[in-house]
Amino acid sequence: MLRVLFLLLVALSFAHAQTSTGSVTGVVSDISGAVVPGATIRLIGTDTGDVARELTSGGDGAFSAPLLRPSTYTVEVSATGFKRLVRSGIVLRVDDTLTLRLTLEPGTVTDSVTVSASVELLEERTNTVGQVIDDRSMQQLPLNGRNYLSLGNLTAGAVPSTRSRDRSFSAYGNRGLQNAFLLDGSRNQNYLRGLDNRARDAMRPSLEAISEFKVQTSNYSAEYGASAGAVVNVVTKSGTNALHGSAFEFLRNNALDARDYFLPASSQQPLFIQHQFGGSLGGPIIRNRAWWHGAFQRTHLSEGETGRQTVPTPAEIGGRFNAPVYDPFTTRPNPNGSGFIRDIFPGNVIPTSRFDPVGQSIAARYPAPNLGGTANNYVANPLQATRVNNGTFRGDFRLTDKDNFFGRYSFDDGTFSRLPILPTEAQTPVDRSIPARSWSIGYTRIVSPAMVNELRVAYNFTGVIQDSTLPRDEIIAGSLAPRVDSSIPTFAVTGYAQIGAQPSGFGNVPLDKKSKVTNISDNFTWVKGRHT
């Protein structure tokens, strides 16, 4: 029976029941160091005013408050024959396990001792290697593009990822694709095959929506299974008893930038306009009982991307070359040795009667060079447009002293228009849409001071939909699948730019992929004496 129970507990520990909460433990003692049993401990949210947990110290003076929401708390301790102790400024980060040493002084409960400043609290019960990035750090540190994952590089063991399909970071030599992502305690993974959107996390909130996040790179708990890399645990902001808001706009413009060193003097400076603007607002619905918070961000990017490719000259399209061109129809055995020989076309000119109609059609799609020479003789600044709307809305509700609920809805709608280097009759323009949706609800029930249950249900949707704006043109009959109703096939021409090639990073067209993930987890904590 014990063996079956042990195996069940091991199985549950690997059931991916992740959490975005923290724990506070401690011991209540008097000034002589003797433990104080039966003391009442209350943890009160500083910003919300609600009593998050009320406990009683055991016979050994110890207490434990698991599954607490990351926040700032005030701890009140009272016991018969002692002054009431009030300790404020207890900052609990995501996935922290803090240990408090609470010392009571002799006196009456009508007297009180208030401690408003203390040394940094340490985690005495875990040896996880990690880093918490709070809201203040995210707002003050330089962050191009306002992508919070860039700050993950500040964690011990993390370095920027250099792989094209991963734009996060690498932890202790593992690929960024092996990182695990959590959002409000639920798995936040993108399972798109091929990862065409270059993001392992399914939903990426804006900075204004994030309260804090923690990156763990080593020795993290077994509950974070299925991850060889780091664990990124994100907690969204909740409302408080006071109305708070923010607004921002960041602008970059090519009028303020230097010219590209490799841009020819005769070419116009590429267009570059980037706007990121938005804000957040949150406050109480019912003071000390219900709160709301919302954040929105709009990204607007228009960029001319300088690119150079090799196209044939008008003379080459007409069949006239500077290098020797051999007639394949004159191939014959070499009379002077092994192998074969061919005759050179007179004057290195291919007669028009020998032109293949398909090859002639393909060659006619190339534009004329706009630079000198025969290599990299065409330059352009095609427009690349990006439009992204990102929003997160959350509500928290304290139904009773023992029942707490929260709900969150997030969306991220990105549209991308990419033009190729060559004109559209030669290469394929692509429009891409990346819709993402995320829902999450949570219910925490305090069964007793020693038993707490936390239920989380989440759903993530991510998609990649892209197609060409060109009408269907097979060029060669049967070169496109019957279901393809746009674009042209790709032809690789040795020594020259490809015909039909898509812009860099925008591979196959048409493309329609979707990832749908439902995550249900339940955490039950039972404190029995010194055991949890």
227-273 residue pLDDT tens: 778 888 899 999 999 999 999 999 888 888 887 777 777 777 778 88
pLDDT in tens, 286-312: 998 999 999 999 999 998 888 889 999
Predicted local confidence at residue 8, as pLDDT: 45
CA distances from 44 to 49, 75, 87, 137, 445 (A): 6, 6, 10, 25, 17
pLDDT in tens, 185-211: 888 888 876 666 677 888 999 999 999
Q: Residue 279 burial by CB count (10 A; 0-12/13-18/19+): exposed, middle or buried?
A: middle
Measured CA to CA, the distance from residue 216 to residue 234 in angstroms comes to 11
Predicted local confidence at residue 3, as pLDDT: 53
Predicted local confidence at residue 391, as pLDDT: 96
Bridge partners for 276 per DSSP: 250, 299
* One-letter amino acid for residue 27 of the chain: V
Entry pTM: 0.81
Q: Tell me what the mean pLDDT of segment 427-443 comes to.
A: 93
Q: Residue 175 burial by CB count (10 A; 0-12/13-18/19+): exposed, middle or buried?
A: middle
pLDDT in tens, 141-176: 888 888 888 888 888 888 887 765 667 788 887 877
pLDDT band of 15, cuts 50, 70, 90: very low
Tokens linked to 14: 């690997």
pLDDT band of 314, cuts 50, 70, 90: very high
Give the CA dihedral 189, 190, 195, 197, nearest 10 degrees.
Answer: -120
Alpha helices (runs of H) in 293-372, residue ranges in sequence order: 314-317, 357-363
Predicted local confidence at residue 393, as pLDDT: 97
Tokens linked to 416: 């991308």
- 41 within 8 A of 47, measured Cβ to Cβ: no
Report the percent of the chain where pLDDT is more than 70.
Answer: 92
pLDDT band of 455, cuts 50, 70, 90: very high
